[in-house]
């Protein structure tokens, strides 16, 4: 048998105490010889507003309705006592109900109605002593002073919790946005890279089918390899989506300096020469964030060559250290010839994402035409990552 949780025990104790206090109100009114139905009606509506289970509330029973209607009924009951001139008792049950409704109003009502409903509940609470005492009497003033203290404490607590709810909502929204950006970066940097390669090599295979069929095998092997890598990237991205509730702050960026070697070796088409020039001083013990960022720079630059400079005959990838900074540079001699369809040209988001990634590490990114023709993408990173 499952034991009740501490939260459930506290809730059950609170409900029991609230019902017991309401019973005290009704019994006190009956002992005084007054009519039972006015206080019973106010308490019944108030208890329903407080205790109605959230999963069973009708749509019209909004927080504004729940908090305003009982307060108005309580104020009308007080006004009736003043008009009739008869003393009518008030007890701890109605006080507790109005305090609960004040808490709900401040914490859960919409910003436009929170103050209105809160004032209604607080005003009804502070008016309760007028049923039994003259507003000039010391007893009424003492009750009003106590009511002001209770109202301030409850409203302050509710406002604090509402602020914490807002901060939590903002934090969750920011985390989800960061997750979406990370997933979008993975899709762009990896899947788009591989799919672009498949498209370029497929076009080449179609051109070679008639003139050079004997040379098709390496091209088809490249298509198969790129498709396999694209599927692996998709599986990783889907895995991130399935585990989206986990903290993504601990996810290590994919790619390093060794992966740049594999990337350049698998890149290129017949007629293209890809050269990797890595200085001996560039070791594998650099911070992983720097290595991953350098890998993304090279990958994005190579993808853009496929999209926008398919006529390039020589592509040079250079990695070197200069004054404590890692430089990753990709240069080509293309003239901008491409046969990719417009849908595969990209929307220009790759360099924007690279700029953000490089800048976040304290680096600089430059992309532009080379002297004598071609294009160059160059990024510089500090070898020590600043952590906030």
> pLDDT tens, 291-345?
888 888 888 888 888 777 778 888 999 999 988 889 999 999 887 655 555 544 4
pTM of structure: 0.52
Residues in Cβ contact with 158 at an 8 Å cutoff, skipping those fewer than 6 apart:
102, 103, 104, 105, 106, 107
Cα–Cα distances (Å) from 346 to 189, 302, 349, 357, in that order, read 12, 13, 8, 19
What is the overall mean pLDDT for the chain? Answer: 78
Question: What mean pLDDT do residues 44-49 have?
Answer: 90
Q: Which of 132-146, 150-164, 180-194 has the lowest mean pLDDT?
A: 180-194
Question: What confidence score (pLDDT) does residue 24 get?
Answer: 82
**Which uninterrupted H or E stretch holds 23?**
helix 6-31
Query: For the chain, which domains are there?
Result: 6-132 (no CATH), 254-388 (3.30.565.10)
61-85 residue pLDDT tens = 999 999 999 999 999 988 888 887 7
Q: Which of 132-136, 186-190, 286-290, 311-315 has the lowest mean pLDDT?
A: 186-190
Give the model confidence (pLDDT) of 80-128 as tens digits.
Answer: 888 877 777 777 888 999 999 999 999 999 988 999 999 999 999 998 8
Helix (H) or strand (E) holding 146: helix 138-186
CA distance 349 to 346: 8
Query: What's the pLDDT band for 347 if we cut at 50, 70, 90?
Result: very low
* pLDDT recorded at residue 30: 58
pLDDT digits (tens, 9 = 90+) for 214-249: 667 776 776 777 677 666 666 666 665 555 544 444
The helix (run of H) or strand (run of E) holding residue 237 is helix 216-242
Confirm if 33 and 86 have CB atoms less than 8 A apart.
Answer: no
385 or 177: which carries more pLDDT confidence? Answer: 177
- Kindly tell me the sign of the dihedral angle through the C-alpha atoms of 262, 264, 267, 272: negative
Residue 5 token pair: 């949780």
Given a cut of 50, is residue 252 above it in pLDDT? no
Range scoring the smallest mean pLDDT among 12-21, 29-38, 313-322: 29-38
């Amino acid at each position: 048998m499952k034991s009740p949780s501490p939260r459930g025990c506290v809730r059950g104790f609170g409900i029991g105490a609230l019902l017991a206090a309401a019973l005290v109100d009704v019994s006190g009114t009956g002992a005084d010889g007054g009519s039972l139905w006015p206080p019973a009606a106010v308490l019944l509506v108030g208890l329903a507003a407080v205790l109605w289970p959230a999963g069973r509330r009708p749509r019209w029973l909004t927080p504004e309705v729940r908090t305003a209607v009982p307060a108005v009924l309580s104020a009308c009951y007080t006004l009736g006592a003043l008009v009739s001139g008869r003393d009518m008792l008030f007890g701890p049950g109605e006080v507790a109900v109005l305090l609960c409704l004040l808490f709900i109003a401040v914490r859960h009502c919409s910003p436009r109605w929170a103050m209105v409903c809160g004032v209604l509940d607080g005003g009804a609470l502070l008016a309760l002593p007028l049923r039994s005492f003259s507003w000039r009497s010391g007893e009424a003033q003492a009750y009003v002073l106590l009511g002001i203290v209770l109202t301030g404490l409850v409203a302050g607590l509710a406002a604090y919790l509402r602020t914490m709810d807002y901060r939590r909502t903002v934090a969750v929204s920011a985390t989800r946005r960061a997750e979406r950006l990370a997933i979008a970066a993975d899709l762009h940097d990896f899947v788009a890279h591989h799919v672009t390669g498949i498209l370029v090599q497929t076009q080449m295979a179609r051109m070679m089918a008639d003139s050079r069929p004997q040379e098709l095998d390496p091209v088809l092997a490249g298509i198969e390899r790129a498709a396999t890598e694209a599927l692996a990237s998709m599986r990783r991205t889907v895995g991130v989506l399935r585990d989206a509730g986990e903290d993504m702050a601990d996810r290590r960026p994919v790619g390093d300096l060794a992966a740049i070697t594999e990337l350049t070796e698998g890149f290129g088409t017949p007629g293209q020469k890809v050269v990797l020039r890595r200085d001996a001083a560039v070791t594998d013990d650099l911070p992983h964030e720097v290595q991953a960022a350098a890998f993304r720079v090279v990958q994005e630059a190579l993808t853009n060559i496929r999209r926008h400079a398919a006529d390039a005959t020589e592509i040079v990838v250079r990695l070197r250290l200069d004054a404590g900074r890692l430089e990753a540079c990709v240069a080509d001699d293309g003239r901008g010839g491409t046969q990719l369809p417009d849908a595969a040209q990209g929307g220009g988001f790759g360099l924007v994402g690279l700029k953000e990634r490089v800048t976040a590490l304290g680096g600089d990114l430059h992309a532009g035409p080379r002297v004598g023709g071609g294009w160059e993408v160059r990024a510089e990173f500090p070898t020590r990552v600043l952590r906030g």
